[in-house]
Amino acid sequence: GMEFEGRIGGVTRFGLFVKLIATSADGLVPIRSLPGDYYIHDEQNHALVGRRTGRVFRLGAPVLVRIVEADPITGSSVFELVGAENGAEVDGYKHKRGSGDRGRGGERNQSRPFERRAPQKSKGKHPSKKRDGNKKDDHRNSKNDDRPQKPKSRSNKSKR
């Protein structure tokens, strides 16, 4: 595909919005397509930060992108970055985040959503089952589980 110069015009927890310089068209670079790291959304600094590499994609940074998908009806586009270091800075930012990863200091709110998300992929399955299981058990012992069973048995009897 064709490559275009653009600038990061928006930073979200799911990716980067890039505005092309030549055409002013906007598109999304999904976070899953960013190179070789787990990226954390730093809402206060409008950046995505690589947890291991310290690579930072900031609002306003120049990038080179390739169009992956374009929908002429909705006008939406999906981009991918061209080149691994494209648009990224690696500065002292990694060290600042190091203490914030555990929710300490002023960066506490930034790391909290990621601490919630990360366990869902690995550890989160078990605790959520326990929590949901307890809630479901409570509901099963109450009206919710009885309701579906009664209409089913009544409807079966009335048909016969």
Residue-level pLDDT at 110: 39
Residue-level pLDDT at 1: 74
Hey, which residues does 57 pair with through a beta bridge? 48, 88
Q: Which domain holds residue 27?
A: 3-121
Residue-level pLDDT at 24: 86
- CA 153 to the chain's CA centroid: 44
Q: HEC string of 117-130?
A: HHHHHCCCHHHHHH
Task: Let me know whether 143 and 104 are in one domain.
Answer: no
Task: Let me know whether 77 and 114 are in one domain.
Answer: yes
Task: Let me know whether 35 and 113 are in one domain.
Answer: yes
Residue-level pLDDT at 65: 95
Residue-level pLDDT at 86: 64
What are the per-10-residue average pLDDT scores of the chain (160 residues)?
92 96 93 91 95 93 94 91 71 41 36 41 46 46 46 48
Query: What is the tally of structural domains in the chain?
Result: 2
Q: How far is CA 61 from CA 15, 44, 52, 82, 109, in A?
A: 14, 16, 20, 14, 24
Task: Let me know whether 40 and 108 are in one domain.
Answer: yes
Residue-level pLDDT at 90: 61
